[in-house]
Amino acid sequence: MASENQSHSPEPIAPAKVDGTREFPPIRACLFDMDGLLINTEDLYTLCADIVLSKYGRPGLPWPIKAQLMGIPGSSNGDTFHKWAQLPISREQFKEEQTEQQRIHFPECKPLPGVEKLLKDLRRARNTQGHPIELALASSSEKLNYDMKASRSATKAVLDLIPEEHRVLGDDPRVQHGRGKPAPDIYLVALESINSSLPDSAPKIKPNECLIFEDSVLGVEAGRRAGMRVVWVPHPGLAAEYKGKEKEVLAGRTALYPIGNDEQLGAVDDGWAEQLVSLEKFSYGKFGIVAP
């Protein structure tokens, strides 16, 4: 949330530089995915699927298949999964059994390394122009699943560092059905939720003043389509699947799930996105953020 004692816009200073050449304005808002980025639910999704697969004599979900499912709502019960799984049960039964496992295991989820410190730092941080850093969540998880994942008190305390009014979930009516990631809509709605809460004295935040944190390939593409900068923090298994293709991922140009409007995508090595192995490695100053 914006500081209440901010009565006027700070004087502008030189924008942040990337690689010493490309200039960007300092970041004013950080927008976060959730599953696999803030909490360890990607591993739990795999666990729940594997339990059902094993019950019917099938192997565990491999990364070449999982990589095609991440970030797409309902994909764990979609064509790609079932073409590979070849289960002797209906999709409806698989969904029921998988959902039951998720009810058991989602409450076990916990924050990933570096998450709590990063969110706490950003809540107290300002950018180099003196603006507070705003936080938002943009997750494909629906409200029911979010509540299960946040049911553990320690996990809820970390997720609550992001204001409730700035959380946009997969079943939010402001996001048109069928316009999930890699479409940019969920991130644009999250930005609007921030801008609508700013005091009148604060200028509206522009997309290029936003930094998105994502673990999925489609999430990176959604961020690039939204005209925002992106930090990609993939699971080691996903990173291995895209070894040698990192530049295409960061540009949003994997064509994993084509939706048209390719003019929204980035260019390779354009400086708008970068990859980290962990949120513990995040560099505040690189993005014009002054951490406490």
And the tokens for 90? 């209906």
Active-site annotation holder among 35, 50, 200, 269: 35
What angle, 0 to 180 degrees and rounded to 10, lies between the N-to-C axes of helices 185-195 and 217-225? Answer: 60
For residue 244, give every residue at least 6 positions away whose Cβ sits within 8 Å of its Cβ, in sequence order, or none: none
Burial of 59 (0-12, 13-18, 19+ CB in 10 A): exposed
Contact (CB, 8 A) for 102 and 74: no
For residue 177, give every residue at least 6 positions away whose Cβ sits within 8 Å of its Cβ, in sequence order, or none: none
> Is residue 262 among the annotated active site residues?
no
For residue 69, give every residue at least 6 positions away whose Cβ sits within 8 Å of its Cβ, in sequence order, or none: 75, 76, 78, 80, 81
> Is residue 270 among the annotated active site residues?
no
Amino acid at position 111, single letter: P
- Per DSSP, the residues of 17-68 read EETTTEEEPPP-EEEE--BTTTBTHHHHHHHHHHHHHHHTTPPPPPHHHHHH
Residue 212, Cβ neighbours under 10 Å: how many? 28
Amino acid at position 144, single letter: L
State the pairing for strand pair 16-18/22-24. antiparallel
Q: Among residues 165, 214, 158, 227, which one has the least CA distance to residue 194?
A: 165
For residue 72, give every residue at least 6 positions away whose Cβ sits within 8 Å of its Cβ, in sequence order, or none: 78, 140, 180, 181, 218, 257
Q: Which amino acids are annotated catalytic? A: 33, 35
